[in-house]
Amino acid sequence: MGTYLNPGNNGYQEILQSEYMDKTGLIALINHTVGTMQKLNCISRPRRFGKSYAAKMLCAYYDCSCDSRALFDDKEIAGTQGYLTHLNQYHVLNLDITGFISGAERMNMPLSNVPNMIADAVYRELTEEYPDLEGKSLEDVMIGCVEKSGKEFVFVIDEWDALIREAKGDAAVQRKYLNLLRGWFKNNNFTPRVVAAAYMTGILPIKKDGSQSAISDFKEVTTLNPGRFVEFTGFTERDVRSLCGKYGMDFRELRQWYDGYDFPGYGAIYNPYSVMCAMQEQKCRSYWQKTSAAESLMTYINMDFEGLQETISRLISGEEVEVDTDLFENDFESFKSRDDVLTLLIHLGYLTWQEDDGTARIPNEEVRIEFRKILKGTNVNRKWMELLGRSEKLLEDTIAEDAEAVAKAVEEIRDSQYAPTYYNDEQALRYVIKFAYIAALDQYLKVEELPSGKGIADVVYLPKRRSTLPALVVELKWNKPSEGAIRQIKERNYPAILQDYDGEIVLVGIGYDAKKKAHSCVIERI
């Protein structure tokens, strides 16, 4: 058992001894590709979505140096065709590229040394196992290993794109690293003889400009199009419901905080890291971890491509925005438009992508909080600061039941750049209201079209835990008096959804008269 060659199953055993959700169905997908033209898979997904867990699981399953049957016999994979055929039948080469980068930094070595460090580490362990092969090239040693053992290699490479990202301004380093990968995965004298399968993970898809042709034969599975791998992208709703039952947590609250990554034909996917943190700490809050990739976004947001800061303010308010993801070049350098930055945000997990209509939105409360932190740390423009200040005053006036001030504030938002171009229906009014109350998102959870009583409340703001603020139930009327909105709230018993809430509730009716081009407001407290 080595560090990189055949690392054994200890890593997966540790996972099983912690809180574990069965994701061994992923192995079946890889088994179907072993020894075929589809054996090279490159999986890109955000951090905190279980990439390293998957890598340890695959190592434990394929590694010929250990017996992992007891670890998998009671898992989903055991019931699939080919389970025993591939179990512990291969040499495994497991590489975490970030570990090599960290090692170079500790030794004050340049990034250009990293490809050699990788090759030397693999060579050293291979020749320790097969000393008679020493003196040959790395590729020849690996071929010799296969010939002597009769076992091919399964490559499991975590954070494969880390060096590409870290050396983004150094083409020589990138080229050196990609040549190493080319020798393994695009070599007609080597790849068919040695590689049974490869599973690489990273944050970004393969770069589009052809500079990474060393891995062009890989099948790409991305956040934009996860295909058959979708249920292994994160926790499913079934997983989260099961955990909520075990830990005594409110599933509705977990969904509000961590749901939102939706995929056509499949449904919701949750951030595994955040869900498990919430379970262990018995508290829903933001467990988002800052990364260098996330921090670099500050630079691009400050550039304000095509009004990017305004777009982000729309996202924070709950809007969906159209995004053209086709031109993004899958790197942190070649930003040419607002859409490029937004596409990067999708790959980093800050936005969820809706393929059917080509839009993106903030997936949940956790990420919305991080967006607000980003905006507070940027050189935001004056209009955004004015909007935020106006919204804070609006919230104060609403709680103080100053209906006239609320109507005036909504009027001002309507006249700003944040209003829709066509202000001619209730949906447009709703759009403006969400911007008007954008400051409330610091202290409230916003729920739109919430089923309650005998109807559906337009917008409900639920105070976050330990908040002393009242709940807000907002009903909108287009070309109808605002008094009718309050009456509808009462007649249809919209506050019924808050029956478990023991604080005050403020009912807010907002109307718009298209002829007078004026807003009105009525507020009552119950």
DSSP string, 307-367: GHHHHHHHHHTT--EE---TT--SSSS---SHHHHHHHHHHTTSSEEETTTTEEE--SHHH
The set of residues, in sequence order, having a beta carbon less than 8 Å from that of 55 and lying 6+ positions away, is 94, 96, 156, 158, 199, 201
pLDDT of 148: 94
Judge whether residue 425 has pLDDT over 90: no
Whether residue 299 is found in the same domain as residue 274: no
Which of 146-155, 169-178, 485-494 shows the lowest mean pLDDT across its residues? Answer: 485-494
Whether residue 353 is found in the same domain as residue 458: no
Give, in order, the Cα–Cα distances in Å from 336 to each of 6, 282, 329, 348, 456: 43, 43, 10, 18, 42
| Exposure of 103 in the CB half-sphere (CA atoms within 13 A) | 13
Residue 45 lies in a domain: yes
Closest CA to 66 of 46, 84, 47, 90: 90
Query: Please, which pLDDT band fits residue 231 given cuts at 50, 70 and 90?
Result: confident
Strands 505-513 and 471-478: parallel
Whether residue 350 is found in the same domain as residue 404: no
Domain that holds residue 265: 234-281
Secondary structure of 405-450 in the HEC alphabet? HHHHHHHHHHCCCCCCCCCCCHHHHHHHHHHHCHHHHHCEEEEEEE
Hey, what are 414's tokens?
A: 């309507």
Helix-, strand-, coil-residue percentages of the chain, each rounded to 5: 50, 15, 35
Closest CA to 158 of 236, 257, 253, 57: 57
Whether residue 248 is found in the same domain as residue 328: no
- Rounded to whole angstroms, the Cα distance separating 376 from 319 reads 19
Higher local confidence (pLDDT), 237 or 447: 237
Whether residue 161 is found in the same domain as residue 225: yes
Residue 1 lies in a domain: no
Task: Mark which of 231, 247, 272 sits at the end of a domain.
Answer: 231
Residue 495 lies in a domain: yes
| Exposure of 75 in the CB half-sphere (CA atoms within 13 A) | 22
- Rounded to whole angstroms, the Cα distance separating 358 from 373 reads 26
Residue 475 lies in a domain: yes
Residue 2 lies in a domain: no
**Residue 258, strand partner residues:** none
Judge whether residue 123 has pLDDT over 60: yes
Closest CA to 498 of 467, 526, 466: 526
pLDDT of 290: 58
Task: Mark which of 380, 412, 437 sits at the end of a domain.
Answer: 380
**Range from 27-31, 304-308, 495-499 that averages highest in pLDDT:** 27-31
pLDDT of 293: 52
* CATH (domain of 451): 3.40.1350
Whether residue 271 is found in the same domain as residue 333: no
The set of residues, in sequence order, having a beta carbon less than 8 Å from that of 317 and lying 6+ positions away, is 434, 435, 438, 441
pLDDT of 171: 83
DSSP-based three-state secondary structure for 77: helix
Query: Please, which pLDDT band fits residue 140 given cuts at 50, 70 and 90?
Result: very high
Whether residue 402 is found in the same domain as residue 429: yes
**Range from 70-74, 390-394, 402-406 that averages highest in pLDDT:** 70-74
Query: Please, which pLDDT band fits residue 384 given cuts at 50, 70 and 90?
Result: low
Whether residue 310 is found in the same domain as residue 415: no
The answer to whether the CB of 468 falls within 8 A of the CB of 417 is no
pLDDT of 51: 83
Whether residue 401 is found in the same domain as residue 365: no
pLDDT of 476: 83
- Rounded to whole angstroms, the Cα distance separating 518 from 496 reads 31
Q: What is the mean pLDDT of residues 148-152?
A: 95
Q: How many domains does the chain have?
A: 4
Whether residue 259 is found in the same domain as residue 327: no
The set of residues, in sequence order, having a beta carbon less than 8 Å from that of 16 and lying 6+ positions away, is 71
Crossing angle of helices 114-129 and 171-185, rounded to 10°: 30
Query: Please, which pLDDT band fits residue 414 given cuts at 50, 70 and 90?
Result: confident
Residue 3 lies in a domain: no
Question: pLDDT per residue over 175-213, tens digit each?
Answer: 899 999 999 999 999 999 999 999 999 888 887 656 676
Residue 287 lies in a domain: no
Whether residue 241 is found in the same domain as residue 190: no
Judge whether residue 380 has pLDDT over 90: no
Higher local confidence (pLDDT), 262 or 12: 12
* CATH (domain of 173): 3.40.50
Question: pLDDT per residue over 334-362, tens digit each?
Answer: 777 888 889 888 888 889 888 888 899 99
- Rounded to whole angstroms, the Cα distance separating 150 from 146 reads 5
- Rounded to whole angstroms, the Cα distance separating 318 from 363 reads 9
pLDDT of 441: 73
Q: Kindly write down the DSSP assignment for every residue of 505-517, as one continuous string.
A: EEEEEEEEETTTT
**Residue 41, strand partner residues:** 199, 219
Hey, what are 354's tokens?
A: 């809706």
Residue 519 lies in a domain: yes
- Rounded to whole angstroms, the Cα distance separating 336 from 322 reads 16
User: What does the CA dihedral 194, 73, 4, 52 come to, rounded to 10 degrees?
Assistant: 110
Kindly report the CA angle at 385 between 384 and 386, in degrees rounded to 5?
90
Which of 162-166, 329-333, 493-497 shows the lowest mean pLDDT across its residues? Answer: 493-497
Task: Mark which of 245, 262, 281 sits at the end of a domain.
Answer: 281
The set of residues, in sequence order, having a beta carbon less than 8 Å from that of 52 and lying 6+ positions away, is 96, 158
DSSP-based three-state secondary structure for 456: strand
Whether residue 139 is found in the same domain as residue 174: yes
